[in-house]
Structure 1
Amino acid sequence: MVEFYRRNPLSLRLVAAILAVSTLFATLAVGVQLYTDYRRDITSLGLRLSDAERTFVPGLVDSLWLMDEQRIRLGLDSIVTLPYVSYATLRTAEGRLYTSGRATNRGHESSHLYVLRHQDDKQQQWVLGELTLLVDKEEIFASLWQKLWVVLASQAAKTMGVTLVILLLLHFSLSRHLAALADVAERLNLNRLTQLVRLDRRRGHHPDELDRLADAMNGMQQRLQREVAELERVHALNRRLSAAVAASPAAMIIMNEQGSAEYVNPALCRLLELPEARCLELDWPTLLENRLSQGMLSSRPAGWLLDKVRQESWQGELLWRTESGRPRWLLAHLSLCRATPDEAGHVLLVMEDITGLKEFEHQLSYQRRYDHLTNLPNRVMAMERLEQMLLQSVQEGGHLAVMVIAVPAYKEVTESLGIAYGDALLQECTQSLNAALGEACFRARTGDDEFLCALRFGQSAEPVEACLQQIKKALSRSVRLDNLPVTPGVAVGVAVYPNDGNQPERLYSRALSAQQRARSQKEPVQFFEPEMQAASYRSLHIATALKHAVEAGELRLFYQPIVDPRTGDYEGVEALVRWQNAELGWVSPLDFIDIAENTGEIVAIGQYILREACRQARQWQLQGRNIRVSVNVSPVQFGEPDFVASVANCLKETGLDADCLKLEITERLLFASSEAAQQKCRQLADMGIRLAMDDFGTGYSSLSYLRDLPFDIVKIDQSFVRHMTRNSRDKALVRGIIDLAHQLGMSVVAEGVEDHVQLELLTRFGCDLMQGYYFSKPVPPEQLFSKEESSSCSG
């Protein structure tokens, strides 16, 4: 019963309430019924007594009037036999007492007094006595109690039956389903949201309260499931955000609206070199305001930063010194974060260490104005400095000399030894210039091998002359690079304000023109002259026209024979490019080759020369003249990543055998540290192409190239051949080169043979092949075999 009550308390309470109410109404009904019966019995008793009074009282009056005791007693006995009358007494007027029956004394008796009167013929009444009757209502009450118990028993049985039926109905139609819903609700947790409520009954067409309750619980579970999933997503996002904030390299502080720190991430502690507790104690708004107020002309009221953040976000840079005293540039961003519009919100302070960025900006600023190799001002700063010096000269009525200094050896060192040695040469030159020139002479590096010096002077030019002497002296000292003595050399161009211009760029341009004249004429110093500007314009015109020379078909190849001195036969020819422009006319290779290399046009020109030479050689082969063609390779062209592939494609397209192509490579092309260049040489040799080292002896490279690289031929530069008949040292050098090449199994070609004396001397030294004006100048292909028949392709 206890378990049933525990599981069905509502049903029992409902049953108890029904039972109480039904009992109350049954009690009221029984009370009304009993009271009605009581009143009916009392009324019936009264009627009987009235009948008895009409029946027995006259007889007793007559008996008393006649004084007939027997009749008196008989009358009393008759009265006692009446229902409910238990005792009767008659007291006569004389005081005599007659009784009949007996008193029960059960508490339900009542007495009724009747005055006995006799009326004579004269209508005169005589009081004869008093009759007292004791009426016993015990039977009435006994009957009522009997009815009460019968009614109570029947009502109790009926109520219990109805209650039991109601209890069963409540249990099967309501309580057990409510208990099932309660069990589901008790077991409901975040892990069991998918278990829907199903009542153990058939669902009607019209859902009742239980159906709606079950549907509501199922809907609640589904909503909870969605909300829990959303909460889990939000919690996961919060965890990721918390982890991201904790792992973020940016320093973060979360403050309440009053500015008190509530959270700091580890990056802030690392940045400021402070423990977390100390960071939380700091008054961040005041600290930021103090640091931002430093250097301001006007003070701001306390709390201005938070007031500003409440209106809009704020961002600024500030300098912070850490606990160890190290300065840190910080980019601070303050913003007010609110989850809802009505929320007070929190202040988020994000600080990023931009010290490295500041240093990088400073470095960029330095690099924008200074040369990283020499630490001298660069061209940008040089022009700014020239502007200042020119303004001072104008104001003071003085002069300004702008000197552009070139280091001729730089190009040869770079091409032969490599860029690192070229840089080392420039650094040596910088040290020499710094040591030789005083503070009054401004110095800058304005190009690869180009320095600029500027000197203000008065009416006397002696300071300029002294400065030029110091420059020549400083750059005439040899330095050692890769254990080789190298003299930097010097070519200085000078332009003077106000004679040569009154603007920095014009003075620099004219000094540069003078420097180019000094370089071309191999003079140490050259002052600007007006005609130099025309030469500069011509160089610019050449550079512009070269861009379209190949497409316009302005380039032609001339061929100079390479002769075997023993037989006079042509062993091969060297392809030499010539350029004829409609405006410039015939342009010497000495005028445009360097420009082409500087502008990069040499790659397209070199590719044209290679393809045209191979095509012409193949055409000669088809005509029965097997001839080997030599092609000069520019260092710029050779440096192209696809150079080897382009040579292979050229041979394939023209159909020329690789053995009939000879590539002439200068010493300067092979950088001492360029493994890639050496690898290209080996790849070309593996293809069957013959390699010749051109201009041997003019560079700074070691003889290890002859030993390690697959060269077939060594070409002696014409400068040695030209002077060997007059200079014993050149003659010995030529003979040594020939002997060395033969010992290494290589052939020797002498360039620039111009007379019979040179021919005989080279023949005596054992030179294998020769070329020069003595045999033939470079001629168009149609004139090459006018005097000499072709010879077969020989090794």
Structure 2
Amino acid sequence: MTSLLNTLANALEQIVLEVTDIEASTVLWLDGDSDWANEIFPEAKSQSAFTISQESAFLFDFLIDAKAIWQQQDNKKLRSGLWTEVTTQGVELHLEAIAIKQASRNLLVICNQHESFNIQQQTKQVAREVLLSYDRLFLKSEYLHTRLLSILNQPSAENSQILTATAKIIENAEFAVIVASYDFNTSIENAAALRLFSQDKPLHKTQSRPIDIILTLMKNQLPEYQRLLSTHSSWNGELCWILPPSTLKWLKIGFHPVKNKLNDVENWIIFANDISTMKHLIQRNEQLALQDMLTKLPNRFAFWQMLEKHIATKCAFYLLYIDINDFRRHNEFYGHDEGDKLLIELSKRIRVGAKATDYFARVGGDEFAIIINNIDSKQACTQVIDRLLTQLARPFYTEQGEHYNVTISIGAACCPIDAVSAEELMKIADLSAYSGKNKKQNAIQFYSTSLRKASFSAIQIERELRQAIKHQEFELYLQPIIDVKTNHINKAEALLRWHHPKQGLISPEHFITIAEKTGLIINIGEWVIERTCQIAKQISELGVNLKISMNLSPSQVADDNLYNHLTQCIEQTQIDASLLELEITEGVLVDDYIVAEQLLKKVRALGISISVDDFGTGYSSLVYLKKLPLDFLKIDRTFIKEIVTDEHDKAIVRAVIGMAHTLNLCVIAEGVETEEQLSFLVNNACNSVQGFIFSRPIQLQSFITLLQQQNQHK
């Protein structure tokens, strides 16, 4: 039997050693006889028992861990994992050690795993080649997505003609393409989609459509499914389709809404690729099965496993869900290779910021998650997040040396305080990240019940805003701006109000943020421009040349159609463009300087004046004031409120007025409410003021009456 065991050990390229002295690492050679083993343990040739030397550093370190196994009474084993040794002849050995406690005997098995290693390497190489082929498919789907999106956003008459021309491209695509209506009725479905989702049974009425299968899989496998639908969001990821008795397919899905100006979904574009081959290759290697191939981080599957293990320990921890802001725009601007480079670099930086005991994974295209161990306080979690943000504060660089900055949105949830299941934790962390999402800066949002309520409230407000746009529920109020020299109205600011059918009059601070976040601000802003032009026309027909100013949101400034819409409104109402003024916040000038500069130069050429709103609240932008075509600075009301009693506010206001006049800019003070405030501003050469001391924002007819009364007293 001993001879047979020795033959078997040699065939398996193993040697079996018995540990006779745990502390000294003294062993006795039991079975196996190979040239490679003699290379590793040359001292074994001359004596039956020998001490393992420290020349093999990896094995020596493993023996330290193995002592814990050998010192126990129970039968156990511990594997070392692969390591590499090089023989005196330069041959690489890929070895693995197994420490075994069995029937009170302490054993050490050393295995030569070169065949297994070579198979793993071949599997990895094949997997990489398959991944590259899939990447090419994904790039093609991205191109087709962009093209379809532009087509579906065209007017109906044009879009049907272009769709017909594109149908051949869709039909010949190597991947499934589905275009559906807002309620998921399929309008286009190529042959690849039908092949991919073909079922064993012949076609009949009860057979599921491809889109139904995809939606069912998303609903069952994605915690964020309801959030995706309710917020009309895109999603990219993997789904597993199991249909007994014979179907098991892994699918790479791209799920994209096509929205109109009201942010209503008019169509859905869905792409699907069969990635089962890649998954099969990956699953042949445990490391690959749990690893994201791009960043080398644990993948979504590995993260879910670890999350469930942490929950089972019943120890408190925080889950962070991290989403890169504007990642799609980054890909479109710099290309997908640079997008991949960003993901790799960002993952490295976050890993540096996280502790070694934290578990960090890539769980989606531009989404990461971290399990922060052994903390149960918001303060401790915030300190971890601050470390992460510090790592991301440094600029990133492209291959060409261009630098850019990245911002992220972080959602945080605590187990067991916020939830006690993996699905619920992921769902609320995702919701928190989405709720705090800010494209211009890093956003951190801790989960709370009030957040959930606020999220549902935001969704409700968005729905009601779309109805408000359709039913013309908005109105522009006008607040007079007074020339301090003449004490007469020389301008008015148009301020938006919403006549809610149930809640009555709503001021913009209660809905503008949601309108901006959902994209509805573009449609609302276009209505404001149209209505402002009409008001300016109506007032001018009374024989009064009065400038009307209107606020532009950051999204409007970035909208390519803004200038065209503005000129169309001017032409339609046939007004003098000099009767209009645009107010842009200081932050927009700094964040989107190039875009703002191009826009301001064009509108200034029309005769429209430009005002910088809320000056002094955000940035030190003196260089922009010098370069941009501006006419007015508006001092924010926060500096005016304590201007009589606060010496710092007095100094700031004096400095702003002096600087503005040096740059040939006029100054308007907002929020003037008292005679003392007005007196200070007049004495310090402020040009114009607005505030409750003169008038609150009022409806158009009341404003016209105010103008008529003023003319009577001239």
Normalised TM-score (structure 1): 0.45
Greater Rg over alpha carbons, structure: 1
More helix by share: 1
More strand by share: 2
